[in-house]
Chains A and B, each alone.
Chain A
Amino acid sequence: MEERLKTVEALKIADPILEIEHFHLYYGAKEALHDISLAIPRKQVTAFIGPSGCGKSTLLRSFNRMNDLVEGVWTTGAIKLDGEDINTLDIDVIHLRRRVGMVFQKYNPFPKSIYENVIYGLRIVGVKNRTVLDAAVERSLRAAALWDEVKDRLRESALRLSGGQMQRLCIARAIAVQPDIILMDEPCSALDPIATSHIEDLIDELKQEYTVIIVTHNMQQAARVSDYTAFLYLGSLIEYDETNKMFTTPSIKQTQDYITGRFG
């Protein structure tokens, strides 16, 4: 415990976009996340790793208040987005979700056209100008590395795309509203290796514009893709460090055991 606290404080992140301070999450009486404190750096890729059920997805979903949809969830502690606590009652959750976008484990395009899928976020805000929408579609699809493949069939149903394409479409949909943070909950677990490598290349480009937080159970992916990694176990944060350092010289034994495959 002591070692853990030391590493988190020693890691001085200048200008963090997200500061989590003593965050606890409960499902009714059961504590799922215990005293999480960390800082997410701006325009970098941060990965959450850990065995199944350790709470990494739960933590990720707290960043855009998606846990509100689950019955009986309550939290204590603060999560500060650019200094403003998003865990309070009077925060506009809808506005928050425009600043913090999310890509899910199972790609979920809407049963609409590709065009309509990408601009969904813009339409619900009330943007009607065709030029603005067209530009947003092209920009987002290019950024998601999907433009060349679908530019001739924007009006076709999105459900006709392949799995990898649909996931990239969901990424395009998330970035169309130009969020500050993109949350990715195991985005490649439903995809084949080729599609996975496409997404990983994409993440590398995305971090120039956006902050990316990715949850993954694939350690090699975390090592390839991320700049900072947080290791969670049974609802607690065990270690949080720069990826290079964590995967070569982890400070805590538990981390080393996990990374080398001794458990999990």
Chain B
Amino acid sequence: MSTVNFDGIWKRYGTVEAVKNVDLTCPQGEMLALLGPSGCGKSSILKMVAGVEEVSEGEITFDGKPVSHLAPGVRNIAMVFEDYALYPHLTAEANIAFPLKVRGIPARAARERVEEVINLLALEEVRTQKVSGLSGGAQQRISIGRALVRDPELILFDEPLSHLDGDQKVQLRSEIKRLQQTAHLTSILVTHDQSEAIAMADRVAVMNDGELQQVGTPQDLYHTPANLLVANFIGEPPMNLLSMNLHQSGHGAQFIMDGLTLSFSNDPRMAGFVSCFDAASVIVGIRPEDIQVSFGQLEGSQKGSVSEIFTGRVDYVEPRGDSDVLTIVSDGNVVVVVETDGPTAFSRDDRLNLTVAPESLYFFSSTTQCALGRIS
């Protein structure tokens, strides 16, 4: 398998620019996810790697060798599709063996290779069954087997879990991850679902409107999103984003918007941190899981602590099993979403105290929408 490099890639369809100057690297043995909403350009990149679409400008290389002029067949790329694309009347084994058969691999070598793949994917039990009767999860494992069997340079996964139900999706994604890591498969995953990208990929490239927004490990994207778009896209439920005015004081700072004030009035770290901001308005991001909620009166000691506390009423409770997501309307009518360990006994119109720690906050520029850093 080889290292895949995208060097200043453009894709134009007439006047539409589907992919704009994307630089990316997928090192050998890694899985790179292309994540973004529909129309973000991720599928165009996939098609250009596979060779079914031409590159308008730029170059794709495998281990430094340009491939964009090569026909799809000679690139030695395998693909795993959303809808499996298996031959329904053939057995699992025959589906896996198919790519070797059409390439005229000698029967004995082919048998050995198919055997290896069946063992690797634990498909022994279903090998002689027709694929049409198997579960979606089993079918997708067979299609992965068919991709692996001919030792491709690169495996492309195109929304591989979209058609699966609940636990099958969860099981298969960890199987793919394990397989990818233990067999050191170089692979590119295209998905619109952040949880699939985070679960399977070593690094995730977030795309929007043809442009690469950020590439990093799942932890990077969660803890240090480069801009508002990434912040909005990574995390479920999504981050609260509040457009606020910054008031600096000697020992701290206040963030004020119509209906909500976050006051860190005695926090030198905060004072130091915001002193380099060059605008009075800033977008404050708070992840729902970083807000603590509690009932009851505020105590004096709590009020004086560095964490800011404000009050609001529960507007809506979404139970999710081991967590509850609360939509809370602050006393000044600002809507804030909170995720808390569940099941809880909170119900509509309960009054709650909300606490946020300064180091859990995210800050973005109101003008450029780029991240302004975090308090460490």
Partners in one complex: no
Task: Give B contacts to A, CB under 8 Å.
Answer: none
